[in-house]
A and B are shown apart, each in its own frame.
Chain A
């Protein structure tokens, strides 16, 4: 299904709001947006990118044409619809929320070893492991110096959605050194926990 949105003559944030409504209300795999200024081009591209679309743009006279294709590996909306349509596929969606960089309380160096072990072992969940979201101190595990960086990159490669909270990365000054996963926000986290069949919180 395709959808075209003409946002010419509108200034920010109107074009991005139009596109947001369109993304929420339809399950279009391909969205084309027409805008007539560079600011809207940037905002709309960024928004569609944040929703898991792969975005290309071209300039046609005075009009920018933004073409967005739904990328199923990262699109929450798209990929769930697919799964629901497969009867018999027993796959569940497990979301693991990691809110700290150590597991349990008592001794921190033990806690960080346990966390490494936990993150290496959850691959046993197999295809049920749907998303790994890192919050608060947990975002430290997504950076350059993370002892489980390679493991998390492996998960991401195998199709697990790995996300780190943008506010948390900012708070710790780690945005620049994040090495795995996308950046997420509270709205997406709330949506994801709502959609998951099971949420495991590691604190």
Chain B
């Protein structure tokens, strides 16, 4: 089954399809246990974004054993296992190799009813867009590398990245959702661009409603913007229209690559406020309605 999402789907029967996904990366926080949790939450996210339930997972590890010793590896895998337990997902095994640079991630397999698959295609005229997590993790991770982020900021962003999209996906299942994706490496505008490609529609984003992590603006205005944000902008800038004098720091936040970002959900105007309220009631305090589809601006993301 072909989609342009980050996961592959295989229909087993009329009742069951498998979603398979794989993601791994280099450390973004210093604490190995936290990094393990974040890597697992990030890998599980693709399954949730497609409306599936993760069932099994396999570890992928590249590890400098000589340089780092056994203990950080054990902690990292314990962090990954903790996130899998939270997702009721079984770890079946994995594979590790010796490497100069640490990398960790998981391949996750989930179940979904073939008729209930959510993809990033399907936005309808009049739909609203709801985002479940604030933006800015790429910028803050860059500031962490630069030794600028305070311990409180590190804790805040770690918690956010380690938060599963499970509950958001479960709440979403109670609504008629036209399209869904999770915000990761392409940033909000990159993933949004994928969502509208080929639909013949555009979207308007109300910039003052987009949730942004505390400190992301400050670090962005100091130039701590990851290369990925600039690459995302180069790739998609022809699809994005902004008013003249648009704040370049805010623009970078909208293109900022996210680690284990939130879900971006398309739903009817009637459902949107109810969905946002449910998400907020269940702990996703920064969930927000950030925009809507616009038929008169084909293939364009209008920032407002």
Q: Are B223 and A45 in contact (CB under 8 A)?
A: yes
Which of B55-63, B107-115, B145-153 interfaces with chain A? B145-153
Q: How large is the interface on B (under 10, 10 to 19, 20 to 34, 35 or more residues)?
A: 20 to 34
Question: Which chain A residues numbered 25 to 39 have a C-beta less than 8 Å away from chain B?
Answer: 37-39
If the complex has contacts A20-B146, A185-B215, are A13 and B221 also in contact, measured as CB distance less than 8 A? no
Is A11 close to B, CB under 8 A? yes
Residues of A contacting B281 in the complex (Cβ-Cβ under 8 angstroms): none
Chain A residue nearest in CB terms to B149: A187
Q: Are B222 and A185 in contact (CB under 8 A)?
A: yes
Interface string of A167-179 (1 = CB under 8 A from B): 1001001011000
Which of B26-34, B123-131, B224-232, B261-269 interfaces with chain A? B224-232
Interface string of A160-195 (1 = CB under 8 A from B): 000000110010010110000001111100000000
Complex-state Cα separation, A175 to B220, whole angstroms: 14
Residues of A contacting B217 in the complex (Cβ-Cβ under 8 angstroms): 166-167, 170, 175
A39's contact among B146, B148, B214, B225, by CB below 8 Å, is which? B225
Of the candidates B214, B217, B226, B249, the one having the most CB atoms from chain A within 10 angstroms of its own CB is B217
A26 to chain B, nearest CB (A): 18
If the complex has contacts A13-B142, A13-B146, A166-B217, are A50 and B212 also in contact, measured as CB distance less than 8 A? no
Complex-state Cα separation, A13 to B226, whole angstroms: 6
A interface residues, how many (CB within 8 angstroms): 28
Residues of B contacting A16 in the complex (Cβ-Cβ under 8 angstroms): 146, 223-224
Residues of B contacting A45 in the complex (Cβ-Cβ under 8 angstroms): 223
Complex-state Cα separation, A144 to B230, whole angstroms: 32
Residues of B contacting A176 in the complex (Cβ-Cβ under 8 angstroms): 247
Is A43 close to B, CB under 8 A? yes
Is A17 close to B, CB under 8 A? yes
Is B3 close to A, CB under 8 A? no
Say what secondary structure dominates the interface of chain A: helix
Residues of B contacting A37 in the complex (Cβ-Cβ under 8 angstroms): 230
Complex-state Cα separation, A43 to B227, whole angstroms: 9
Residues of A contacting B223 in the complex (Cβ-Cβ under 8 angstroms): 16, 42-48, 50
Is A12 close to B, CB under 8 A? yes
Q: Are B230 and A12 in contact (CB under 8 A)?
A: yes
A50's contact among B142, B215, B221, B227, by CB below 8 Å, is which? B221
Number of A-B contacts (CB under 8 A): 75
Complex-state Cα separation, A50 to B219, whole angstroms: 10
Of the candidates A11, A38, A170, A175, the one having the most CB atoms from chain B within 10 angstroms of its own CB is A170
Complex-state Cα separation, A37 to B248, whole angstroms: 17
Q: Are A186 and B150 in contact (CB under 8 A)?
A: yes
Residues of B contacting A185 in the complex (Cβ-Cβ under 8 angstroms): 215, 218-219, 221-222
Is B244 close to A, CB under 8 A? no
Q: Are A50 and B222 in contact (CB under 8 A)?
A: yes
If the complex has contacts A166-B218, A167-B214, A186-B150, are A173 and B208 also in contact, measured as CB distance less than 8 A? yes
If the complex has contacts A12-B225, A186-B150, are A167 and B142 also in contact, measured as CB distance less than 8 A? no
Q: Are B145 and A17 in contact (CB under 8 A)?
A: yes
If the complex has contacts A12-B230, A43-B225, are A170 and B212 also in contact, measured as CB distance less than 8 A? yes
Chain A residue nearest in CB terms to B225: A43
Question: Which chain A residues numbered 2 to 33 have a C-beta less than 8 Å away from chain B?
Answer: 11-13, 16-17, 20
Residues of A contacting B248 in the complex (Cβ-Cβ under 8 angstroms): 42, 46
Complex-state Cα separation, A117 to B214, whole angstroms: 32
Chain A residue nearest in CB terms to B215: A167
Complex-state Cα separation, A173 to B212, whole angstroms: 12
Residues of A contacting B208 in the complex (Cβ-Cβ under 8 angstroms): 173
Chain A residue nearest in CB terms to B209: A173
Residues of A contacting B230 in the complex (Cβ-Cβ under 8 angstroms): 12, 37-39, 42
Residues of A contacting B214 in the complex (Cβ-Cβ under 8 angstroms): 167
Residues of B contacting A184 in the complex (Cβ-Cβ under 8 angstroms): 218
Q: Are A12 and B226 in contact (CB under 8 A)?
A: yes
Complex-state Cα separation, A170 to B250, whole angstroms: 10
17 A/B residue pairs, CB under 8 Å, sorted by A: A12-B226, A12-B230, A13-B224, A16-B224, A39-B230, A42-B223, A43-B224, A44-B223, A46-B223, A50-B223, A166-B221, A167-B214, A184-B218, A185-B218, A185-B221, A186-B215, A187-B218
Not counting A13-B225, A170-B217, a sample of 12 additional A-B residue pairs whose C-beta atoms are within 8 angstroms of each other reads: A12-B226, A12-B227, A16-B223, A39-B230, A42-B225, A46-B221, A46-B249, A48-B223, A50-B221, A185-B215, A185-B218, A185-B222
List residues of chain B with CB under 8 Å of any chain A CB.
142, 145-146, 148, 150, 208, 212, 214-215, 217-219, 221-227, 229-231, 247-249
